[in-house]
């Protein structure tokens, strides 16, 4: 624990850094710090100790303990803990799958502007699992997450605009958001745009533009497009 020991960093902040950076040689010392602080009721320490058990960082993976520590932190209002605990319930890791509980946990971080939670909660409204299916609510959450740069939300939002699901059909918006996701490396968006340009599906048929997106999906090129609606999304 050299960095913490020399007084240049608070021990808890050092331990959190170790877990984030996955510096496995420092795990034992970091876990001692986290366990000590978590047992004193520190919400941040409880969060990171939950993540440690969920990931198996320096300890055997144990989703029961992960859930318990994350729940303690979430009960203190830690929104990151709420998000990760919700993911455990969505996936059914060590607990029965409970989409309703997950939706309840995602709600607070989503309301606070957490793009990850907005996207995940949007998916639940899209699928109608744990909550009633509500495409308008899904689109609203995806829009919020997409505006904050969440690539998966950009991809879903583009498809919602393309299909007119939860929003009025708008091919310009569809291409804009699919393009944003594609430029940020989303292969599904790249392939979908390639197919759209190849077939003239909602956009002018353009074989060269289709090839640009297919090449990106194949890893043969970086971003390059002639479509001004996509360029405007990157350079407003």
CA nearest neighbour of 182 among 146, 144, 230: 230
Chain-centroid distance, C-alpha 53: 20
Task: Render pLDDT for 49-79 as a digit per residue (tens, 0 to 9).
Answer: 999 999 999 999 999 999 999 999 999 999 9
DSSP symbol at 41: T
| pTM check: above 0.85 | yes
215 band by pLDDT with thresholds 50, 70 and 90: very high
DSSP 184-201: TT-HHHHHHHHHHHHHTS
User: In the predicted model, is pLDDT for residue 86 greater than 70?
Assistant: yes
pLDDT for 231 equals 40
The two structure tokens encoding residue 213:
């997106």
Across the range 144-152, mean pLDDT stands at 97
The DSSP symbol for 56 reads: T
Least confident of 12-16, 43-47, 129-133: 129-133
Between the two ends of the chain, the Cα-to-Cα distance in Å is 47
CA angle 135, 141, 146 (to 5 degrees): 120
User: Alpha-carbon distance 14 to 11, whole Å?
Assistant: 5
**Whether the Cβ atoms of residue 48 and residue 34 lie closer than 8 Å to each other:** yes
Name the 3-class secondary structure at 212: helix
**Distance from C-alpha of 45 to C-alpha of 29, rounded to nearest angstrom:** 14
Q: What does DSSP assign to residue 148?
A: T
**What confidence score (pLDDT) does residue 129 get?**
85
- Considering the chain, what is the average pLDDT of its residues? 91
CA 108 to CA 74: how far, in whole Å?
10
157 sits in which H/E element: helix 151-163
Closest by CA to 154, choosing from 135, 182, 133, is 182
Helix-then-strand count for the chain, H and E: 14, 0
């Amino acid at each position: 624990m050299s960095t913490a020991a020399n007084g240049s960093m608070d021990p808890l902040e050092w331990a959190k850094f170790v877990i984030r950076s996955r510096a496995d040689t420092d795990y034992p010392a970091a876990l001692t710090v986290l366990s000590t602080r978590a047992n004193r009721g520190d919400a941040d320490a409880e969060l990171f100790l939950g993540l440690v058990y969920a990931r198996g960082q320096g300890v055997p993976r144990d989703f029961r303990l992960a859930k318990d520590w994350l729940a303690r932190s979430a009960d203190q209002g830690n929104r990151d803990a709420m998000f990760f605990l919700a993911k455990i319930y969505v996936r059914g890791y060590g607990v029965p799958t409970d989409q309703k509980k997950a939706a309840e946990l995602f709600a607070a971080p989503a309301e606070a502007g957490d793009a990850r939670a907005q996207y995940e909660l949007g998916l639940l409204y899209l699928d109608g699992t744990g909550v009633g299916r509500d495409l308008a609510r899904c689109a609203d959450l995806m829009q919020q997450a997409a505006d904050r740069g969440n690539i998966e939300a950009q991809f879903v939002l583009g498809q919602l605009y393309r299909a007119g699901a939860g929003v009025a059909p708008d091919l310009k918006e569809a291409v804009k958001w699919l393009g944003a996701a594609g430029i940020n490396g989303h292969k599904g968006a790249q392939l979908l745009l390639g197919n759209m340009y190849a077939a003239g599906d909602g956009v002018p048929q353009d074989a060269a533009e289709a090839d640009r997106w297919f090449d990106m999906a194949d890893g043969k090129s970086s971003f390059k497009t002639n479509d001004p609606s996509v360029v405007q999304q990157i350079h407003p």
